[in-house]
Homo-oligomer: A and B are copies of this chain.
Amino acid sequence: MANIKDIARLAGVSVTTVSRVINGHPYVRDDKKAAVLRAMEETNYERNINAVHLIKGKTNLIGVMVPSIKRPYFGLVVEGIAEEALKGNYKLVLIQTNYEEQREQEALMMLKLKQIDALIICSKISDWDIVEEYAAYGPIIAFEDARGRNVSSIFIDHYKGFMEALAYLNGKGHRKVGYCLARKSGTSSKQREAAYRDFLKSSGEPFDPDCAFYDAIHFEDGEWIVQRLMTMQDPPTALLVTSDQVAAGILACCNERELDVPSKLAIVSFDNQPIARTLNITTFEIPLTEIGRDLFRKVMTKEFFQQEIPVRLIERLTV
């Protein structure tokens, strides 16, 4: 494969001039420019991008840390990131972590190694201390509440969101509300459980551990949730679900078992994914794709930035 030196020789100019032509810099006579272009054409020349990366110290690659890309939730976020990346001529490096700390560290390491120009954390398990440490090596933004931390973030206040949802259900007459969470240990789950307990305390209801459903992540998780629900002698009359996918699964299984929604079981979920609209699920909108776009835009400014995205209730037919 020809390199810039070959082109220079073929065109009878210096490598500097060739570089000027390639990068559209001024001060190159038209005839020389033409000669360079011809030489590039003839040899089917492409510059060695890795040499460019080396000298420029950047790669136009943005890292995206996601636990699992098959989950529509992350698909929607990454979609937004990808859309925006395209405009800025950036490419995405996808790091699927499966919530393993070691893999997350690998992603962070890529930033230190300058293999990526910035890192977007869609969800993580590692401690903030570790993330902060790596923030010294390049811009990082997280889609997770980082208030009080020195890391940029665009986030949902899940405490608030859950509170609002609980108040809404309470207002609709529901006294016993169950909830489905994804990872028990995640930041957002902790916020949500705190809200749940606080709400219970303020309304004087007792806490029933049977009302908590963990590891509710996929559509298919609706199945065991409904199954468990039907074995309970005193089941909740409403369910707060942290993902439309799960809510959709629950709804589907309820229909199958002729457990009427919302009269027997009300469902409120989060995200407002397309499936929620189709199935008329009452949900709190979290504009995932839009957030993805924002994450990209903001991380590219390289400036510290934190912003809360408010959730918005969309009333449909499951309450």
Contact = CB atoms under 8 A, between A and B. Distances in A.
Given A92-B93, A115-B49, A218 B75 contact: no
A211 interface: no
Interface string A70-100: 1110011011001100100001111110000
A82 B54 CA distance: 26
A35 interface: no
A161 interface: no
A53 B76 CA distance: 32
Interface in A127-144: none
A95 B92 CA distance: 7
B112 A50 contact: no
Given A54-B48, A114-B50, A69 B78 contact: yes
Interface string A251-294: 01101000000000000000000110111000000000100000
A50 B59 contact: yes
Interface stretch (A152-160, A173-181, A219-227): A219-227
Contacts of A252: 252, 278-279
Contacts of A309: none
B46 A50 contact: no
Contacts of A219: 274-275, 278
B220 A249 contact: no
Nearest to A76: B70
Contacts of A237: none
Contacts of A112: 46
A113 interface: yes
Nearest to A58: B50
A68 interface: yes
A103 interface: yes
Interface string A99-133: 00001000001101111000000000000000000
Interface in A8-49: 46-49
A68 B70 CA distance: 12
A96 B103 contact: no
A61 interface: yes
A61 to B, nearest CB: 7
Contacts of A61: 93
Nearest to A74: B75
A232 interface: no
A67 to B, nearest CB: 11
Given A48-B114, A49-B115, A92-B93, 20 more contacts: A48-B113, A50-B59, A50-B115, A64-B94, A69-B75, A69-B78, A70-B76, A70-B289, A72-B75, A78-B94, A82-B94, A83-B96, A93-B93, A94-B94, A219-B275, A219-B278, A220-B278, A252-B252, A252-B278, A252-B279
The 3 A-B pairs of least Cβ separation, nearest first, read A70-B75, A82-B96, A70-B79
9 contacts: A48-B54, A49-B115, A50-B53, A50-B59, A50-B114, A68-B79, A70-B289, A92-B95, A219-B274
